[in-house]
């Protein structure tokens, strides 16, 4: 059994609670499942798109989300030198990786191991 590394603890948290929950939110928005009054107009407008258009919107949303995660992780690695650090179990996250942003996309990266949505096509 593989012991979860500090990088994996952070990656799993990021992927499950930011990426996957954001995709779930988008999907529920498109399906009109949210009851918040502030979302009713947007959900109504989304119903005017056909299935192909919604697929394009979803892929663009996921691509934007992944780009934001990548850029955030890249910046987090950069600002480590300025004293902005994430410490998990007394270990500095940025010191454990040669590039946090690269932890997302490898064959055994965070997206592959922790996301319910394996690629932008799902």
Q: For the chain, list the strands marked E by DSSP.
A: 87-88, 91-92
**Higher confidence at residue 105 or residue 48?**
48
Q: Please report the pLDDT score of residue 23 as a whole number.
A: 98
Q: How far apart are CA 110 and CA 120, in angstroms?
A: 14
pTM of this structure: 0.89
Nearest residue to 101 via CA among 7, 18, 16:
7
Q: Please report the pLDDT score of residue 1 as a whole number.
A: 40
> What is the 8-class DSSP label of residue 116?
S
* Residues 110 and 104: beta-carbon distance below 8 Å: yes
């Amino acid at each position: 059994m593989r012991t979860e590394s500090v990088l994996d603890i952070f990656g799993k948290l990021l992927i499950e609670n930011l990426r996957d929950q954001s995709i779930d939110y988008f999907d529920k928005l498109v399906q009109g499942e949210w009851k918040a009054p502030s979302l009713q107009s947007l959900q109504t407008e989304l119903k005017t798109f056909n299935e192909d258009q919604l697929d394009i919107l979803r892929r663009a949303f996921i691509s934007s989300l992944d780009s934001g995660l990548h850029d955030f992780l890249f910046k987090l690695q950069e600002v480590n030198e300025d004293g902005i650090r994430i410490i998990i179990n007394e270990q500095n996250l940025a010191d454990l990786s040669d590039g946090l942003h690269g932890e997302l996309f490898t064959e055994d990266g965070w997206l592959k191991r922790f996301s319910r949505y394996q690629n932008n096509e799902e």
